[in-house]
A and B are shown apart, each in its own frame.
Chain A
Amino acid sequence: MRLCKKLGFWLSLAFVASLLGCGNATIQTEGKTHKIGVDLELTGGSSVWGVPQKNAIEMLVKEINEKGGINGIPIELVVYDNESNETQALIVAKKAVEQDQVLALIGGGTTPTTMPIIPYVTQQKVPIVSVGSGDGITSPVNEREWVFKTPSNNQDIAKSIVSFLKQKGKTSVAFLSMNNAYGESGKNAFEALAAEQGITIIASEKFGAGDKDMKPQLTNIKAKNPDAIIVWAIPPSASIVNRNFWELKMNQMLIYSAGAGANAFIDLAGKDAAEGTYIASGKVWVAEQLESNDPQQGLLTKYVKDYESSFQTGVSPIDGMAYDAALLVTKAIEMSGENVSRQSIRDNLEKIQGLVGATGIFNMSPDDHTGLKPEDVIILQVQNSKWAIAK
């Protein structure tokens, strides 16, 4: 019994101690820094995005700090892993805001991990720039005073796909989406737009995130003979779909949404399979092919070069979106001049105009917390195993 009591005592002590320990500030840095919290999916189902996103953010911050920081003050990133889990995303956001006293948050990387944070940041008055693509993150704007996001709205992506379809005279399409938040929101956006614009969806299929073979769904689609197939998915399933598509010797137009754009999309699908595939995405993959008067050309070329040399892997539009989130926050800090506060960052985020990012050119306003236009999304095509601007 004595042993039990002793153990019990020490265990309770450990409990209280660890609680208090967790509540203390993290690494002490000398001098003043601007703290930015990062709440991303570094493990779990969405880590295929979360890790490159974190890399991109760290790359930008390192570059800024090497130049002396913003107005002489360095930026300190506080990075946490939300495990692709929304409960953790909220806890981590709270930790960053209250314990680390961050000025602003970047995250979550997906819509379900961003949504629970929204009521909290609104109540605590902390600006957040999300890398999730759901349109519901920044609308209705009057309830999203403190929330911003960088990925193009699914609506804009759908718009660019639809106008490309009409341009090519394709009117009957099949829609294949992933059975998760991303695929679903894309499906809703596309269906709404297609109805308006006279595109008929003759087949609609879904597949799970962990599925390894989408031939049944594609066989169904093939039987209905659409003009084009739109796929809304993330890697690696997106590449598997392309591969299965090729294996079934289908020859419709195959168009992906931006989320499919893995760094290695072409390799994963197989060079033969990927040839001719389209994707609606930002311009990051065709940086060298942009006209010299394209405002994004300079930034994108530099981004691609820096990222590839730092991380030994290709870029993708998705890490570009995280890079833009960091760009926005650091720009807002810069615009705040001497008096940097959460309120000033929020106010300045709304005032950002003409900021060239990897995903597009950001023009924020009190009515628009995404700041991008449909024109920022273009259609690319794999030609000779490389991405090129589709004609």
Chain B
Amino acid sequence: MSGADLIQLIVSGLTVGGIYALISVGFVTIYNVNGVINFAQGEFVMVGAMSAASLVSAGCPLWLACIISILVAAAIGAIVQKIALHPARFSSEVVLIIITIGISTALRGIAQITFGSNPLTLPAFLAGEPVRLLGAYVPRQDFFIVGITVITMVLLYLFFEKTMTGSALRACMMNREVSRLVGISPNRMALLAFGLGAALAGIVGVSIAPVSLATYDMGMMIGLKGFVAATIGGLVNIPGAVIGGLLLGLAESLGAGLISSGYKDAIAFLILLLVLVFRPQGIVGAKSGKRV
């Protein structure tokens, strides 16, 4: 395996890692505000991807289709939160998890009817041959994915740190009861967080559809991987989620390339197990006495 090949592995790994990072950021946002592990996160990615693909094949210009799809994903996230999660907000975690599972199942079925069972594709944002970088070939779409991830992170940072709503959301993520005391409505925040998480997923969907194609059942595995990334990062903060995502992508790529491709998925979940056993607060998280 030459140096160029190794770099190729690293570059692919980082790109996939960026995807996982975005998904896990959505997860972490929802988890910290709504208190629910959202099993439907992958389906929101799917909604974004499939909507964009269908719109484009119906003749809509690419940039418009992307924006509409992200809004569609956010809207569906908001609707789902309002009708399914809000009424059950006092239920136990298990019940909430099962509700999100039911939502993911329903979304998959709706997608199959609306979009059909055939895979769909989106044209690449920048047409052209892959670019040579340090001996590795990087498809142009990957630059977009990385770029979009970075821009989204920056926007999220500005949102959380510099805006009122963002700060309110952050407060809610840290402590719901106390934020209520200062007048932040937890219900509004829950709705916002879910919509935001879904929008982030929609962005992922739209970015990866050109390279990974879109099928109505793409959500499950992608959601799980984002999940694993979030856990590696500690489930408590956004930078952790991003780091978790990048690490996961790298580990998968290097593992598949250097060790064994059959066990590639196993690598991701073995890492999950190792992190949970030895460092459950995640690579980035602070040690919390989360035992009782």
Contact = CB atoms under 8 A, between A and B. Distances in A.
| A and B touch in their complex, CB below 8 angstroms | yes
A313 B117 CA distance: 12
A144 interface: no
Given A206-B262, A207-B264, A48 B118 contact: yes
A207 B213 contact: no
Nearest to A206: B262
A167 B67 CA distance: 51
Q: What's the dominant secondary structure at chain B's contact region?
A: helix
Contact of A219 (B116, B129, B221, B257): B257
A66 interface: no
Interface string A240-270: 1001001111000000000000111001101
B213 to A, nearest CB: 4
Nearest to A212: B212
A236 B8 contact: no
Nearest to B8: A219
A216 B221 CA distance: 18
Interface residues of B, number: 41
Contact of A212 (B1, B16, B109, B118): B16
B178 interface: no
Nearest to B119: A236
B130 interface: yes
Given A219-B12, A236-B215, A249-B130, A210 B220 contact: yes
B175 interface: no
B222 A205 contact: no
Interface string B8-22: 110011011001000
B112 interface: yes
A240 B208 CA distance: 12
A208 B16 contact: no
Interface string B106-134: 00010010001111010010000110000
A222 B257 CA distance: 11
A215 B253 CA distance: 8
Contacts of B256: 216-217
B222 A210 contact: yes
A240 B265 CA distance: 17
Nearest to B141: A247
Contacts of A206: 261-262
Contact of B117 (A47, A211, A220, A267): A47
B118 A213 contact: no
Contacts of B193: none
Interface in A52-87: 52
Contacts of A210: 218, 220-222
Contact of A213 (B212, B218, B262): B212
A140 interface: no
A223 interface: yes
Contacts of B119: 48, 235-236, 239, 262, 264, 268
B160 interface: no
A212 B117 CA distance: 17
A207 B264 CA distance: 8
Give the top 5 A-B pairs by smallest Cβ distance, nearest first: A210-B221, A212-B212, A236-B119, A216-B256, A216-B257
